[in-house]
Amino acid sequence: MAVGGPDVTLFGRERESQRLAELVASARHGGGALVVRGEAGIGKSALLRQAGLVAAGHGLLVLSVTGTEAEARLPFAGLHQLLRPILGRADELPGPQRDAVLTAFGVARGTAPDLFLVALAVLNLLAEAAAESGALLVVEDAHWLDPPSADVLAFVARRLGSDPIVLLAAMRDGYADGFGAALDQLRVERLDDASAAALLDARAPELPGGLRRRLLDESAGNPLALVELPIAARRFEDDPLEPAQRPLTARLEEAFAARVSGLPDNTQTLLLVAAVNDGDTLAEAVDAAAVVAGTAVTVDDLTPAAAAHLVDLDRLSIRFRHPLMRSAIRQRAPLAQRLAAHAALAGVVRGQADRQVWHRAGASHGPDDDVADELERAARHAQGRGAMVIAVAALQRSGQLTVDPARSAARLLQAAELAVELGRHDVVGGLLQEAEARGLSFGQQAQRLWIAASFGDGLRDQKTGPLALAEVAARVAGTGDPGSDRLAMRLLNSAALRSFWSEADPEAGRRVVAVTESLPAGADDPDRLAILAFAAPVERGSAVIEGLRGVSARAGADAQTLRLLGSAAVIIGDFDQAEACCTASIPDLRAQGRLGSLTRALAALAWCAAHQADLRAGVPAAEESARLALETSQPLFFGIARASAAVLAALGGHPERTASLAAEAEQRGVAASVRPVLATVQLARGLSALADGRHADAYGELRRMHDPGDPSFHAGLRCFALTDLVEAAAHSGHRDEVAEIVSELEVAGRQTSSPALHAGLRYARAVLADDAGAEALFRAALGAETSRWPFSRARTQLAYGQWLRRQRRPVESRAPLRAACNTFDALGIVPWADRARQELRAAGETSRVRPATGREELTPQELQIAQLAAKGLTNREIGQALYLSHRTVSTHLHNIFPKLGITARAQLHAIVGDLKGW
């Protein structure tokens, strides 16, 4: 059966056509994205063309782009093609977004924009253009989009749920799934026998029976083969087809190449130039073909190619009717002709430096320093436009064409550094191998080591431990070469991170500290503080805390520095400093579009909030951090965010959610042997058992954090879970056993002034003391400055009230129990509030249960949006902050109000409170 419309008739595609038509028809009510996937020639483009006609029939704005292999190195080429019809509306965007997108397109000059800021600008530009009519975005051959365009469109596609925009992308089998990995997929299979026969009969009704049967067998249901192989059969009557011993794609390419071979020489030259060109401009192809042919070439020379159905022409452009035609023409041409075509195009595209240099590189058959230098300049230009992937490719090719081995290696290592920043593990290894093949100086060897050791926060390269990194750093610093101290600090940072995440040999941590402290950096140098915090959170905790005070006293710290200091403060248990630094860094990181660093800042804030039982700040921070970690390829921080979310869920009294989040985080932690993730998972499980009153189970879960033989052990992080362990032990008969652990941590307390550790020690001393000394210790704990840590104080009050009641002093117990209950209620820590209420009833006082606010019904993202709306931000401002369209924000608020039982934004603040970090 055939389905069709104007100019489109498709055989055997009823199911696929219906799904696309329904998706397009729903655009006005809410968008979505779909990747149409299948082998070459399977009919993906035909389905997308049909969807475009359906969209036009519904009055939708239709924007389209076709990825081409030749344009893959031109930054934002595909995105510019897609947005060209609406780019005039860029002036309607907020200033930073407008500047970002125009700089990316090379229309304006400015500071290199972050890719995600460009993506937000594109999302908003599309949302405004589609507001009245709705829109369909058609992306042909998405696997050949230039990487920045692909990344931006993937970002947009994940956020189209509430906007009247549908994105359809076609991707060929055999290519990386990066673009459509998180999107719905529509698999297009080969045609069934009846549909294949109907298509062949419609296209070639005159075929003899024997040849018809053979073509059906050879085509195996591939629509392009059913259309093209009969043409080849008519052309070569003696032996139209070889036995099917090679892939169908290869045979189709040969069929196309055969059709080219009979064309006039000038036509073949024009087709070759068009095939290697990174654009589709007709004038470029004609001018360059004349240079290659050495004779006059005109547009009329393309008439035979059009008649052979190889290309489509208009007054300005030339396009191949199928990508296989382009690749077939390139592959059949001798190397010398391809080089000549690139050289001719390099002369034709003068004034377009980026395109010209890539054609010059394509024309190079050996090292060429002039072209290498131009490629290095092209890399800087790409960086200035925020196209970091293109910059990596330009530096790699520059290194390959550089004559001097040392200079070549330097460029390849620079490319590897950029690839590390991008998280491109698929590229880094190859670049390092290429650099090593040139022969590396000692400094370059150290740089290579840092690149390998720093990738994935030091956990991908398992060959080089922190001790070895520290020794190399010491040698680098000893050379006194320019930049040696900076490289040494980088190596030490990698060593410290590895030491922290994998809990390496303590000797390694001590060596990292010794080398760091030997470098000429001030006591409050941010890099120095971070290294000391990660390498020796207990031994150097006091020094880091003192250094943090010095930095915070200085004005003007940038967002990246504040983010780094916030992470250091979390690690040493100075949660006040951590919260201050992280919340100060987040607004600028959002505004700058630095979502990779924002992910880390939010993860640190969530981890900090989890330890302070601050659900209002922690739940949305953990959720956003996890979401962004997936988008920015940071699996380690996804694990941290999910583990922190599990802790927060346990505190809120949600055991099923806790178990689910903990399992998800544990899977990431085990896979990479990341001890902090595993330790936080155990904390979540222990808290969940405590919340449920299963104290023996809680002790078993939490005790693992303190066992050096357990994968969850972490010498630094166990210091901040002491209150939980002691509470579990005191109610499960493990007082003597836990006393040994407390003694160990008392020793740690003499090394560090960590506020978190000392709060836990004060609680432990009071709870584990005998009756004669307990009261003084409880009063000492409550007399400490803990007003900024309400959960810690409330737990001490609860324990004190319980002790007083056991001492038959019920009247005195009511005040601390009442205070604890009120604090737990205010924080939303339901299990501990219920426990305090039970103790109050046992002490003779009834406490009214705090009424539910409905806040618990909100998803983490809804809570975040509600908190921002409560602060007075408009929908557009919320969308800009969270990298969502304002329509998506509006949809969320539409769902939030009924859940909270309110009708106006002014009512939000009383229910959801403030959100930190804004």
Residue ranges in 505-574 assigned as alpha helix (H): 506-518, 526-535, 541-552, 559-571
pLDDT digits (tens, 9 = 90+) for 383-437: 888 888 889 999 999 999 999 999 999 999 999 988 887 767 668 888 999 999 9
What is the rounded distance in angstroms from the CA atom of residue 637 to the CA atom of residue 631? 11
pLDDT digits (tens, 9 = 90+) for 64-75: 999 888 778 888
Q: Which of 21-35, 442-456, 847-861 is predicted least confidently?
A: 847-861
Q: Fill in the DSSP letter of residue 849.
A: P
Beta-strand relationship, 2-5 and 8-11: antiparallel
pLDDT at 240: 43
Q: Which residues pair with 5 in a beta bridge?
A: 8
pLDDT at 218: 79
pLDDT at 114: 85
pLDDT at 68: 84
pLDDT of 557 over the 80 cut: no
What is the rounded distance in angstroms from the CA atom of residue 625 to the CA atom of residue 133? 34
pLDDT at 244: 47
The more confident residue out of 203 and 283 is: 283
pLDDT of 159 over the 50 cut: yes
Q: Which residues pair with 61 in a beta bridge?
A: 135
What is the rounded distance in angstroms from the CA atom of residue 793 to the CA atom of residue 785? 9
**Position of tokens 């590229």?**
427
* Mean pLDDT along residues 250-272: 85
pLDDT at 241: 45
Q: Which residues pair with 319 in a beta bridge?
A: 312
* Mean pLDDT along residues 83-111: 88
| Exposure string over 257-272, b if 16+ CB within 10 A, otherwise e | bebbeebeebbbbbbb
* Mean pLDDT along residues 681-686: 97
Arithmetic mean of pLDDT over the chain: 88
Percent of the chain with pLDDT over 90: 58
* Cα dihedral 44, 46, 47, 53 sign: positive
Q: In the structure encoding, which two tokens stand for residue 129, read together?
A: 């253009």
CB neighbours of residue 589 within 10 Å: 24
**Position of tokens 């100019």?**
7
Q: Fill in the DSSP letter of residue 174.
A: T
What is the rounded distance in angstroms from the CA atom of residue 390 to the CA atom of residue 148? 8
CB-based contacts of 269: which residues, under 8 Å, 6+ apart?
289, 292, 293, 297
Q: Is 71 strand, coil or helix?
A: helix
Q: How many residues does the chain have?
A: 918
What is the rounded distance in angstroms from the CA atom of residue 456 to the CA atom of residue 440? 23
CB neighbours of residue 289 within 10 Å: 28
CB neighbours of residue 117 within 10 Å: 25
The more confident residue out of 13 and 591 is: 13
What is the rounded distance in angstroms from the CA atom of residue 814 to the CA atom of residue 839? 9
pLDDT of 323 over the 90 cut: no
Using 50, 70 and 90 to split pLDDT, how confident is the model at 554? Answer: low
* Mean pLDDT along residues 270-276: 93
Give the H or E element holding residue 663.
helix 655-672
pLDDT at 447: 92
Closest CA to 52 of 170, 185, 223: 170
pLDDT at 907: 87
Using 50, 70 and 90 to split pLDDT, how confident is the model at 852? Answer: low
Closest CA to 607 of 645, 581, 576, 650: 645
Percent of the chain with pLDDT over 70: 93
Using 50, 70 and 90 to split pLDDT, how confident is the model at 541? Answer: very high
Instruction: Round to the nearest angstrom and report the end-to-end CA distance of the chain.
Output: 58
pLDDT of 853 over the 80 cut: no
pLDDT digits (tens, 9 = 90+) for 497-528: 988 988 767 888 899 999 999 999 888 899 99
Are the beta carbons of 257 and 308 closer than 8 angstroms?
no
pLDDT at 247: 67
pLDDT at 795: 96
pLDDT digits (tens, 9 = 90+) for 364-378: 988 999 999 999 999
What is the rounded distance in angstroms from the CA atom of residue 789 to the CA atom of residue 496? 29
Q: Which of 132-146, 230-244, 278-292, 302-316 is predicted least confidently?
A: 230-244
What is the rounded distance in angstroms from the CA atom of residue 51 to the CA atom of residue 57? 10
* Mean pLDDT along residues 479-493: 91
pLDDT digits (tens, 9 = 90+) for 880-909: 888 888 888 988 898 999 888 888 888 888
pLDDT at 243: 45
Name the range with the highest mean pLDDT among 330-339, 726-735, 840-849: 726-735
The more confident residue out of 791 and 903 is: 791
* Mean pLDDT along residues 171-195: 84
Q: Which of 21-35, 210-224, 265-279, 819-833 is predicted least confidently?
A: 210-224
pLDDT digits (tens, 9 = 90+) for 2-16: 555 444 578 999 999
Closest CA to 840 of 815, 860, 814: 814
CB-based contacts of 870: which residues, under 8 Å, 6+ apart?
905, 908, 909, 912, 913, 914
Closest CA to 881 of 581, 620, 634: 620
DSSP string, 576-607: HHHHHHHHHHHHHHHHHT-HHHHHHHHHHHHH
Using 50, 70 and 90 to split pLDDT, how confident is the model at 239? Answer: very low
Give, in order, the Cα–Cα distances in Å from 475 to each of 462, 493, 536, 850: 21, 15, 22, 63
Using 50, 70 and 90 to split pLDDT, how confident is the model at 234? Answer: low
pLDDT of 99 over the 70 cut: yes
